[in-house]
């Protein structure tokens, strides 16, 4: 049994290998074949195929050598501290996630762009590409620094931002990039990919299992493929009656939701806070926790309460973006929900 993840093993390398969003693939192909590209901002939901399309575009521009990357841990001086970040780098591009270093992301962004912008591409191109993952998690200071640095090194660098949401990207950056939306694949498109992978692995994917996987992946292709592989690892085949496994952190958030709805008290809030700390310690992004918690709560409450919950969740998530400790804002949202939910159940109008 191959130890390689199927999401990596069967990731398309070229734009021609992509099986959905063909109009977008054709647009990217024209851009790549022109030999030059503007700064790009790919956005869309998780698992839609943004990163795959970025790498396929770079393959069109720079050729197969773009796949020959080395992994390095780079260190950057940030005041009295040092920020360390893992990067993937080829002769033609660098791939990194500056938000991993928290509030020191500004220093990383500035120094990387300055370094790449001052060097020549040995492959003969006029520019190198800089991929910034999770660009919507960059601090406002990092985004402002990014804008200023870009203006200086436009001739030698092309920035490719990857984000789930545009609303967290400052307007000056959005206006300097060509926005490319990658929407989530349809259920039929996900089924097509799953069947291609099953065929390559000499497996038969039962229709009933295929439908169950698609129903539980939230149109996230990466998640669907990982569910398929986890079922195969567990059973050494794809039985039609196999259950769809949930990630442990998601099971834990379901448990937290149950705690919230069963008892609204300071004691319950303290228990929930401790559990949220554990989820955050597992490197689950706070924004993802907000989304999943809100979704779980929405599935279990009176429809009359849903607009209020959505409004409160959005408000606290927005405030969290400008804060430094996500746990404070997650706890504040849950405390607010507990108070409102208790009032609602007692017939007291929501304030």
DSSP string, 106-173: HHHHHHHHHHHHTS--TTS-S-EEEEETTGGGS-HHHHHHHHHHHHHSTTTEEEEEEES-STTS-HHH
**Sequence-ordered strand ranges (E) for the chain:** 40-43, 70-78, 81-89, 93-96, 128-132, 157-163, 178-181
Residue 346: which pLDDT band, with cuts at 50, 70 and 90? confident
Query: What crossing angle do the helices spanning 187-200 and 221-235 adopt, rounded to 10°?
Result: 40
The pTM for the full model equals: 0.82
> Which helix (H) or strand (E) covers residue 12, if one does?
none
Q: Is 342 helix (H, G, I), strand (E, B) or coil?
A: helix
* R_g of the chain computed on alpha carbons: 22
> Which helix (H) or strand (E) covers residue 105, if one does?
helix 105-117
Lowest-pLDDT choice from 166-170, 180-184, 319-323? 319-323
Please give the Cα distance from 198 to 281 (Å, whole number): 35
Q: Is 322 helix (H, G, I), strand (E, B) or coil?
A: coil
Q: Does the pLDDT of residue 2 top 60, yes or no?
A: no
> Can you list the domains of the chain with their CATH numbers?
6-181 (3.40.50.300), 187-235 (no CATH), 248-346 (1.20.272.10)
Please give the Cα distance from 168 to 139 (Å, whole number): 9
- Average of pLDDT values for 72-96? 86
**Number of C-beta neighbours around residue 309 at 10 A:** 19
CB 109 within 8 A of CB 146: yes
Give the model confidence (pLDDT) of 226-247 as tens digits: 999 999 998 999 999 998 888 8
Q: Does the pLDDT of residue 1 top 70, yes or no?
A: no
Give the model confidence (pLDDT) of 185-198 as tens digits: 999 999 999 999 99
Q: Does the pLDDT of residue 103 top 60, yes or no?
A: yes
Sign of the CA dihedral running 150, 154, 159, 165: positive
Residue 60: which pLDDT band, with cuts at 50, 70 and 90? very high
Percent of all residues in the chain with a pLDDT value above 90, rounded to a whole number = 56
- Average of pLDDT values for 18-32? 93
CB 110 within 8 A of CB 87: no
Give the model confidence (pLDDT) of 6-17 as tens digits: 999 999 999 999
CA 103 to chain centre: 19
CB 18 within 8 A of CB 49: yes
Angle (CA) 246-250-253 rounded to 5° is 145
Give the model confidence (pLDDT) of 105-139 as tens digits: 888 888 888 888 777 666 667 788 999 999 988 88
pLDDT attached to residue 246: 80
CA 293 to chain centre: 17
Q: Does the pLDDT of residue 321 top 90, yes or no?
A: no
CB 301 within 8 A of CB 313: no
pLDDT attached to residue 250: 87
């Amino acid at each position: 049994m191959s130890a390689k993840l199927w999401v990596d093993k069967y990731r398309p390398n070229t734009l021609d290998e992509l099986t959905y969003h063909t109009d977008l693939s054709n647009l990217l192909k024209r851009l790549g074949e022109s030999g030059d590209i503007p700064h790009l901002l790919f956005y869309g939901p998780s698992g839609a195929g943004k990163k795959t399309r970025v790498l396929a575009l770079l393959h069109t521009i720079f050729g197969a050598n773009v796949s020959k990357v080395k992994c390095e841990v780079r260190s950057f001086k940030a005041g009295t501290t040092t920020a360390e970040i893992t990067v993937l780098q080829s002769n033609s591009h660098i791939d990194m996630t500056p938000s991993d270093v928290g509030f020191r992301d500004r220093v990383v962004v500035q120094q990387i762009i300055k370094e790449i912008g001052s060097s020549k591409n040995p492959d003969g191109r006029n520019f190198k590409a800089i991929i910034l993952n999770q660009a919507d998690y960059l601090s406002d200071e990092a985004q402002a620094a990014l804008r200023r640095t870009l203006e200086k090194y436009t001739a030698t660098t092309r920035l490719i931002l990857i984000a789930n949401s545009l609303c967290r990207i400052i307007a000056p950056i959005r206006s300097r990039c060509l926005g490319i939306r990658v929407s989530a694949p349809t259920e039929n498109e996900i089924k097509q990919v799953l069947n291609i992978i099953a065929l390559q692995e000499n497996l038969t994917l039962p229709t009933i299992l295929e439908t169950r996987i698609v129903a539980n992946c939230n149109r996230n292709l990466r998640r669907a493929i990982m569910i398929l592989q986890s079922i195969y690892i567990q059973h050494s085949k794809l039985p039609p009656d196999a259950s769809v496994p949930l990630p442990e952190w998601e099971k834990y958030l379901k448990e937290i939701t149950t705690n919230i709805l069963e008892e609204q008290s300071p004691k319950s809030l303290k228990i929930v806070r401790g559990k949220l700390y554990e989820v955050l310690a597992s490197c689950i992004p706070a924004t993802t926790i907000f989304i999943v918690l809100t979704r779980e709560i929405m599935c279990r409450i009176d429809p009359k309460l849903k607009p209020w919950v959505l409004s409160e969740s959005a408000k606290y998530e927005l405030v969290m973006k400008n804060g430094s400790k996500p746990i404070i804002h997650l706890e504040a949202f849950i405390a607010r929900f507990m108070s409102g939910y208790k009032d609602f159940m007692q017939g007291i109008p929501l304030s």
